[in-house]
Amino acid sequence: MNYEKHYNLLIEKYGHSTKPNSGYYEQHHIIPKFKGGTNDKDNLVYLSAKAHIIAHHLLWKWLKCQKSAYAFWMMAKSNQNQQRRMSSRQFVEARKALKYANSLRTWTPTAEWIENRTGENHWFYNKKRPEHSKVMKDKLKNDLEYRSKNIFLNGGISQHVVESNKRRKGEKRNRTERTCVHCGLTGKGPNMTRYHFDNCKHKE
């Protein structure tokens, strides 16, 4: 398919030199800036959101370069002021374009780049972190005192952890035997409360 031809036809048919008064339109560079395009009026058109997405899709298919791939992927993103809606097929194509663009990223840090960001050349070298304000220090101190008094027991382990560990080890809970006053049954555990006393079927 001749993507260049279809791209030019799209610009001719759906492009507007001035922004229409009604509807949602976005500004588009006919010749992309990474290809030498400028911000002159002759190189700018207004396209609807749908036509704008298709235009960048055609540019990506036509040019097959890293920057056209990133430009097409940016069409998949929109903020609250933009009204772009990609189809599922277009989104899949945009993901493929992004994958292709990322595969071309072959930059590796040079020795000079690393040297300028390590040791004494690092921007944070020999600097101290800013101290907490007095309010924050008091808050942290009170929080630590609360933890030491109310939470951390038994060598730094909280009480509820100790109790849960006891249950896991099979230690029985301390349950006292109780006798139902209505049926005379004696037992212990939650079932006594559930099925006896006020809930007993022999209650008159």
> Residue 154: its pLDDT value, please?
47
State how far Cα 191 lies from the chain centre. 47
What digits encode the pLDDT tens for the residues 28-63?
999 999 999 999 999 999 999 999 999 999 999 999
Nearest CA to 91 among 111, 112, 77, 103? 77
Q: Where are the domains of the chain?
A: 3-77+87-103, 134-168, 175-204
**Residue 156 confidence (pLDDT) above 60:** no
Cα–Cα separations (whole angstroms), residue 16 to 27, 48, 129: 9, 9, 55
Backbone φ/ψ region at 36: left (φ over 0), alpha (ψ -120 to 50), beta? left
What is the tens place of the pLDDT at every residue in 75-114? 998 887 888 889 999 999 999 999 999 998 887 888 888 8
Numbers of helices and strands, H then E, in the chain: 8, 6
Residue 153, SS3? strand
Q: Does residue 125 register a pLDDT over 90? A: no
- How confident is the prediction for the chain on average, in pLDDT? 85
Whether pLDDT at 148 is above 70? no
Checking if the pLDDT of 130 tops 60, the result is yes
- What secondary structure does DSSP assign to 69-127, as a single string? HHHHHHTT---TT------HHHHHHHHHHHHHHHHT------HHHHHTTSGGGSTTTT-
CA 106 to chain centre: 27
- Token readout for 163 is 């109790």
